[in-house]
Amino acid sequence: MLKLETVTRYEDVMNCTVGEVLERGALLCPDKVALVFETRKINYYDLNVLVDSFAAAVSELGFKKGDRIAIDLPNSPELVVSFFAAAKLGLIATWLNPLYREAELKFILGNSKAKGIILKSGFQDHDYAGAVLSMKNELPALQFIIDVSARQDTLLFADLLKKGAQKKYTKPEIDPREDYVMLIYTSGSTGIPKGAPHTHWQVIRQGFNYQQSLGTTAADIFISFLPLYHLFGFGALFMSVLSTQGTLILMETYDREEAFRLIEREKCTVHHAAPTHYILALKDDLYKKYDLSTLRIGYTSGYVPPMELMVEIEEKLGVEVSNFWGSSEAGGALIFDHSDPSREKRFKTVGKPIEIMDIKIVDPETRAEKAVGEEGELMCRGPNVIKGYWENQAETEAHFDADGWFATGDLAFIDEGGYVTITGRTKDQINRGGLKVTPFELEKEISKHPNVHEVAIVATPNPVLGENICACVVPAPGVSVTLAEIRDFLDGKVAKNKLPDELSIFESFPRLVGGVKLNKFGAGGIKELAINDQNKQSVR
């Protein structure tokens, strides 16, 4: 029996496949609870049995090493079983967000040439199986639809599990450093989504990056409402927890009171969340009804929240929270080493790069390297970074250079201690009369206004200056705010040429699928809505 104060060391599994990591956990601590979902508790031994049963059934359908199988499920034991089964068969799991609709589904299924899809028809009242069946003639590679729900015209997940329990399957030879185990698609906020393929070694290392940074152990219990098909949830929860024999408390969708109940009931210790989740958790005194005293640590990502919010999280929820940086291409979180545990570093920076990663700050146009403290585009290189996009040579050449450096599109600077501060996106920069304005500085200051709940700065057209600075604001509950008030508040804090020209009021901000990042530039995004806002306040 594995002692709960110990964990599997990365060195022990560095040459393993993803399936072998699960098998190791089942041997070390068979009776340890791996998953809790609603009233079910599944230990490591039983989880591995379920995975083998499903793998045997999928193998009998004719899936071979290298085939793609799409997983279109919310957080659930079925999602976990599907991924591990695919990994054991040498398949490439293609992650889909169950909030995707026909256009996104068709593109990713077609681009990945998925041979099968595992879905839950009826999730949030949407007929997913029906949607896929309607486009099946346009997807010649797609042969199998496996449904977690009961449906006559699909293969049933539960039936395959039962059938596979009586079968054996042959495991293929897998090279952990060369063979892909998953495809995760970028959000596609400004264009067509791009597939980022990751090897077995890369995803295992992703999980241990989080574990080593936080010092979590097999005794830790993680509340899991972040979507596991999103790279934050996948790395920080799925791979980190199940590679080190922790316990994962699964929530299909986020409900703050249910999250509080589960934290109290299961005595959760780790709380990873997007800033939005923390804002919802703190919006009134509901959290005081529950015992959250077991919580101790967690990461947040999506954007850098204001200092005041981070302080409130720690003081009210008791979670020592830190920022980090990551991307689909760079293998999740790669900048989050907070050797300096001070609030100043944990709150205002995303930390330092992990030991296996190189980073640099360059001029976005010339690629000339910037000095310490100078803002530029963040580039990174290392074994966790993908080699290129799935079947997309043009985008690969646009983002990866010959020396393996990946251009992230994020603006940042590095201080003398090596800590990285993210200041925005290259496409965020506003050109107002030839003067470049980075939204991050304005967003940071405006967020301090007592009547502002959330803020995003975008560019809107100006026939003379080229672009206006538009402040998009979600007011605090029960109050309002005007453009004049925001400009007065900023007076003396930022240069006059950076004062917003326009104000657009939102009830809430649109977010990219997964709910972690703001949708600033995509269809229906903040910029589009601000440009078309007929009620914008403007400087006259």
- List, for residues 382-397, the tens digit of each pLDDT value: 999 999 999 999 999 9
Query: Coil, strand, or helix at residue 247?
Result: strand
Cβ–Cβ under 8 Å, residues 161 and 153: no
Average pLDDT for 70-75: 97
Gyration radius (Cα) of the chain, Å = 23
User: For residue 232, what are the CA distances in angstroms to 118, 132, 239?
Assistant: 21, 27, 10
Query: Would the pLDDT of 191 be above 70?
Result: no
For residues 53 and 164, give the distance between their C-alpha atoms in angstroms, rounded to a whole number: 4
With pLDDT > 70 as the criterion, what percentage of the chain qualifies?
94
Final residue in a domain of this structure, among 200, 221, 254: 200
Residue 132 to residue 105: CA distance in whole angstroms: 8
Q: What does the alpha-carbon distance between residue 179 and residue 468 come to, in Å, rounded to a whole number? A: 48
Q: At what angle do helices 44-60 and 18-28 cross, to 10 degrees?
A: 140
At residue 31, the pLDDT reads: 96
Q: Which of 160, 179, 200 is the last residue of a domain?
A: 200
In this prediction, residues 277-304 reach a mean pLDDT of 90
CATH number, domain of 492, equals 3.30.300.30
Query: Please, which pLDDT band fits residue 403 given cuts at 50, 70 and 90?
Result: very high
Domain presence at residue 58: yes
Rounded Cα distance between 34 and 485, Å, is 52
CA 527, 529, 532: angle at the middle one, nearest 5?
110
1 band by pLDDT with thresholds 50, 70 and 90: very low
pTM above 0.85, yes or no: no
Q: Which residues pair with 93 in a beta bridge?
A: 69, 182
Query: Tokens representing 369?
Result: 């390297």
Nearest by Cα to 157 from 50, 48, 43, 39: 50
Last residue of a domain, one of 200, 219, 245: 200
Q: Are 303 and 347 in contact (CB under 8 A)?
A: no
Residue 306, pLDDT score: 78
Range of the domain at 529: 429-538
Instruction: Tell me: pLDDT of 517 over 60.
Output: yes
Name the band, by pLDDT with cuts 50, 70 and 90, for residue 127.
Answer: confident
Q: Is residue 409 part of a domain?
A: no
Residue 407 lies in a domain: no
CA distance 145 to 264: 38
- What is the arithmetic mean of pLDDT over 270-292? 92
Supply the DSSP string of 347-404, one letter for each residue: HHS--EE-TT-EEEEE-TTT-PBPPTT--EEEEEESTTS-SS-TT-HHHHHHHB-TTS
| Contact by Cβ (8 Å): 157, 87 | no
Is 166 within the bounds of a domain?
yes
Report the run of H or E that residue 476 belongs to, with start and end. Answer: none
Q: Where are the alpha helices (DSSP H) in 9-145?
A: 10-13, 18-28, 44-60, 77-88, 102-112, 128-135
Residue 64: CB partners within 8 Å, gap ≥ 6? 90, 172
Residue 149 carries which side chain, given as an amino acid letter? Answer: S
Residue 82 pLDDT grade (very low, low, confident, very high; cuts 50, 70, 90): very high
pLDDT at 35: 98
Q: Are 421 and 373 in contact (CB under 8 A)?
A: no
- Helix (H) or strand (E) holding 279, with range, is helix 275-281
Q: Which of 454, 462, 479 is nearest to 538 (CA)?
A: 462
Cross-sheet strand order for the sheet of 352-353:
325-327, 332-337, 352-353
User: 1-12 burial, b for 16+ CB within 10 Å, e for fewer?
Assistant: ebeeeebbebee
- Looking at the 3D structure of the chain, how many domains does it have? 2
Is the distance from CB of 98 to CB of 125 less than 8 angstroms?
no
Task: Tell me the CATH number at 91.
Answer: 3.40.50.12780
Q: Residue 449: what pLDDT?
A: 95
Of 177-191, 238-252, 352-366, the poorest mean pLDDT is in 177-191
Identify the pLDDT of residue 152.
66
Is the per-residue pLDDT at 190 higher than 50? no
For strands 68-72 and 116-119, give the pairing. Answer: parallel
**CA 62 to CA 68: how far, in whole Å?**
12
410, two tokens: 């994020």
Taking the C-alpha atoms of residue 431 and residue 420, their distance in angstroms, rounded to an integer, is 24
Banded pLDDT at 526 (limits 50, 70, 90): very high
